[in-house]
Structures are given as C-alpha cells and as structure tokens.
Chain A
C-alpha cells in the first residue's frame, strides 16, 4: 500500500492534478484522463481539454484532469479518480483500452467514457468517430484542388482504422473526379510508424515524384513530415484529427477534424442531465463529430467551387443521399 501511495504521489508530483476542489453535493464530479502527451498538444488532448472547459463554463461544475507521461500511468490515473469517487471519468485515445477495462470492472458503479476505442462493459460508453465521412469530404477537396489528377495518402501504422481513413478518402476523390487516382502508402507495421516524420517526408517525396500534388496524411507525427515535405516542395497537404491548417498556412489545404471536444462535453452534459448511457456512440458528420476545416489559414486555397462541392457532399451525406462505405464494416474497400 505504502509503495503504491509513493508511486501515486511521485507520479502526481510531476503532473498537474486538477485543482483539488470538486463540486460534490448533488452534482457530478467529472474527470478527464488525457492520452499520453502534453495537455496542450494542439491535437487530441487539447480538444478534450476544450470540451471539459466548455462544460465547466456552462455548468459551473469543476472537473479534475490528469496528464500522463507514459502509458503505464493511465491505469493509475483512472484508479485514482475512481477511488476519489469521481464520476464520470473520460479517457481520451485508443491507448486507454486496457486501463479502462481493468478499472471499470473494479468500480462498476462509476461511469466511464472512452474516446476512440471500444470497451464493452455495462458502465462504459465508447465514443467512436466516422472518420470515413470526414475523409470523404477532404477527398472531394483534394480531387478538386489537384491539377495533375493524382492525389496521395500517407497512413501511419497499417491498421483497419487507418484503412478506414483512406477508403473514405478514395471514395471522396472518385466522387468529385471519377478519373482521378489515389496513390497510398502506409508508413509501417509497428507503433514506430506514428513517430517517424523523416519517413513521412520520404514517402511524400516519393508520391510527389509520381505526379501527386495533394497528400492527405493520417499518421500522427509522421504526418508532420508529410506536411513539411509538401511545404518544401510547394505542394498541398491535408491535416488530420485537429485543425492543422495553421501548421503551414497556404500549404495545408484543409484538415479532417475529429471533435474530441464535443465527445467530452457531451459525456459530462449527459451525466449531469441524467441521460448518460453506456454502449457505443458513433459520431459522424450528422452529429457534428467529424468535419473539414476552413479558416483564414486556408481561405485562399479553397475556391468557391471547392467549397460549394464539399458543402454539397456534406449535406448529401448528412441526408443519407451519399452513403460512405466504412472499411471496418467488412474490411474491404470498394474499388
């Protein structure tokens, strides 16, 4: 026990752990466990933070959060919050699967929400995104912005989730320009594929040499290498997860954004209203869970034609007129 206390204290010493004050009374006592990395990472964690902050501002209920520096701390963080009676607890990112599975079994009365992964337990809500729908939209934009009729895709680790991105992207490209072709590369088969910007840049260069002029990168930090290579060569790139348009203004065509903030906010709000339910929740275009990014950084790249066509596709997907095939539904992509 003492040992564990020490470990927890040590972990907490280096890490910010909420404010210590939690509104108890009849209110909920929410908590967030971020994915590995910094809170303000310009990506997943920051989005979850924004969602929690929005809830705090609107409901005046404070929340606690935990920044982990490695994967092993995730379980500790969840257990710590569960012991303290925090409810609901949100875990961000697909790394949380085993930590939440373990802790949620031990604390069956506490409500957990995992984002971007699935934990099948009666007290866990799993929030997923329809990445294929968002990827479809950026595919439309890529096809219309391409002058050569060849667009590229660089994925991170070769897993079904990333295949879902590229499959949706391909469908979008073909929808906008039936004759256009997509050249796709996966960076690797190990987790190192997410953290190799040098290889990302090489893959991008290889695609540019084959005539590609727009590349969609869904590859974590490897993708930053792709964005950089596009910038260095005066080509276009498409960011992912968060709005990466500002990374290289004028070179990033758009970004496929996943609204992790919305998922976090919704969980807290539902818990407060008493409407929280376990099970799967899948957020698509219709629910506002995924989208394409348009701001002042890429306004000059997005012509009226592109904008009109993408918005049209978006409306059609929401209304059900266009059905975007989900790779993960049967592990194939229609050619």
Chain B
C-alpha cells in the first residue's frame, strides 16, 4: 500500500514539473486568443526567454536577473506579434510562425557567438538557478509514512515557478470572468465592433492581452532553462508551446479546463517515463513505442468522443478594421 502511494506521489509530482511550462503558456495563449489573436508563437517566445534567461543568469550569476531578462525578451516578441497583427493587421498565423523560426535560428546564432558551445549556454551553478523549495516541517514529517511523502515531494519540493503556474490559473479565471478588463477582453474576441462602438480601443485591449501572454511565456521559458534545467540547449522547448496551444483548445479557451488538459498531458508524460521498461504483471514488458504513442491516442479519443465541440472566440484570427 505504502509503495503504491509513494509511486503515485512521485508520478503526480513529476506531472506538476512537466506540466508547469504548459500551464504558463496555455494561460498566456488564453489571454491572447480570447482577445481575438491567434498565438502560434508561444513556442518561439518561450524558447527566446529560455535562452536569454540562461545567458543572463550565466553572465551575471543571478537567477532573478535571468528571469527579468527572459520576461523582457518575451514581451518584446509579443509586442512584435502585436505590432504585425494589431497595428498592421497582418496574418496572425504567419506572424507567429515567423517568430518561431526567427527565434529558433537566432538563439543558436547568439549562443554560438557568445558562448562557443554549439548553441548551448554554460551549465549554471545552483546560486544562479531557482532550486526546489523545501517546505518547513519536511524534516519533521519525513518519517511519517504517507504524509511525509505527500508533504515533502508533492506539496513541497518544487521550485517557485511550479507554484506560480498553479496560482496563475485562478487569477486568469478571476480576471477573465470577474473584472471589467476581462469582460471587455472577451468581448473584443467575440464582437470587436461592439467594443469599438462603446468607445473602447480595440487595439489597446489586444495589446494588453499580448503583453500578458508575453509575461507568462517569459516565465515559462525561464522555468525551462534556469529552474528545471541548468542551461539552454538548442530547441529545448521541443514542441511544448504547441502542446500548450493544444491544451488550451482542449480546454475550450477556459482556464480550469485548460489546466486540466495540461495536467493530463503532464501525467501521460510522467507515466510514460516511468512505465518504460517496467514489467507489468500479466502483460510483461510494455514496449516503449506503445507508451510513447499513448498521449496521442488519448488525444484523438478524447477529442472525438468526450470533449465535445470546442468553440473558438468568434473574432479569432480576424484583424479588426475600424470603419471610417
């Protein structure tokens, strides 16, 4: 029994670690898309932030400066996306893809130029990273059978970002549904004309949405390179921005369902990692390929049968043109 609980705790704690960047990106994407702007560029913003965080932390030795720089860069890219799509009414998918390609190349070029390590940044010492936080009482509870595990490994034992990501979800929900800004933001994603007619600037609302998105993706990038790992390496986001986007659509553009989707992806990943090479009674060793295909199969099944219709904000992808 105790072993089973230990196993469950370790899986759930890994789930949180894996899902953190997904949650942050999904919430960022949610703000952007609810305001009517498609954001394919989550991946690129996160990658740029990861690089800048690691580079800054390695040069200055400060994790907080790394985080700050990461947020700045993600914001700059978010503004670029905004400038192309809001001000100039460009194609939002093209702009997002452009950002992804640009960043994928630039991070390597700068990485090679600055650090001469084939695009990687030097490994960071613990002082320049966000390390797991040990909650008070972990030591005292360590010997208590079940509770000690839960307190030390599941509730505690994560770095700051994991808690931030979990906190951002209710905040996102509250902002979107309970504040005037949130109401207007949702309106601008559905019927921008109405918002405009009420005398509120569509562009300014959307700009604020992409800025929030930049903030969250910046944090996600910093998590990857200076909290979860200790260096930047080329293309280290490995498609997580797209998965976050999928999770957000899974969650029908709503914070808590999106959180659920992120956690599900994280859980499947954590299970896949731990089931590899393990002998399951009655079945024998599960083939690696089977485990790795699970998330995709489940995605298809859930999308086809259980999630139901996902309705996007009405004005998504449509640049707003003010009538003259």
Contacts and interface: CB of A to CB of B under 8 A. Distances in A.
Are A and B part of the same complex? yes
A189 B273 contact: no
B170 interface: no
A40 B116 contact: yes
Interface residues of B, number: 33
Contacts of B288: 158, 186
A162 B17 CA distance: 27
Contacts of A228: 123, 229-231
A203 interface: yes
A248 B238 contact: no
A58 interface: no
Given A186-B276, A188-B292, A198 B235 contact: no
A184 B278 CA distance: 10
Contacts of A195: 233-236, 238
B234 A69 contact: no
Given A198-B229, A225-B229, A206 B123 contact: no
B109 A42 contact: no
Interface in A187-213: 188-189, 192, 195-199, 201-203, 205-206, 209
A202 B234 contact: no
Given A41-B118, A195-B238, A198-B229, A247 B10 contact: no
Contacts of B14: 202, 205-206
Contact of A184 (B116, B123, B277, B289): B277
Interface string A237-250: 00000000001100
B255 interface: no
A247 B123 contact: yes
B88 interface: no
Interface string A25-61: 0000000000001111111010000000000000000
A37 B123 CA distance: 18
Contacts of B224: 198
Contacts of B238: 192, 195-196, 198-199
B276 A221 contact: no
Contacts of A137: none
A186 B228 CA distance: 20
Contacts of A189: 289, 292
Contacts of B119: 37-38
B117 A185 contact: no
Nearest to A44: B118
A202 B270 contact: yes
A192 B239 contact: yes
A269 interface: no
A196 B292 CA distance: 15
B108 interface: yes
B244 interface: no
Contacts of B292: 188-189
B109 A69 contact: yes
B117 A42 contact: yes
Contact of B233 (A38, A197, A248): A197
Residue from A39, A189, A205, A248 whose CB has the most chain B CB atoms within 10 Å: A205
A161 B233 CA distance: 23
Contacts of A37: 112, 118-119
A209 B10 contact: yes
Given A158-B288, A196-B236, A248 B116 contact: no
Interface in A162-193: 183-186, 188-189, 192
A224 interface: yes
Interface of B: 10, 14, 17-18, 108-109, 112, 116-120, 123, 224, 228-231, 233-236, 238-239, 269-270, 273-274, 276-277, 288-289, 292
Given A38-B118, A224-B120, 11 more contacts: A38-B119, A40-B117, A41-B118, A42-B118, A45-B118, A196-B238, A202-B17, A221-B234, A221-B236, A224-B233, A247-B123
19 contacts: A38-B118, A41-B117, A41-B120, A42-B118, A69-B112, A158-B288, A183-B277, A192-B238, A195-B235, A196-B238, A197-B236, A198-B228, A198-B229, A199-B238, A202-B17, A206-B14, A206-B274, A209-B274, A228-B230
Interface of A: 37-43, 45, 69, 158, 183-186, 188-189, 192, 195-199, 201-203, 205-206, 209, 221, 224-225, 228, 247-248
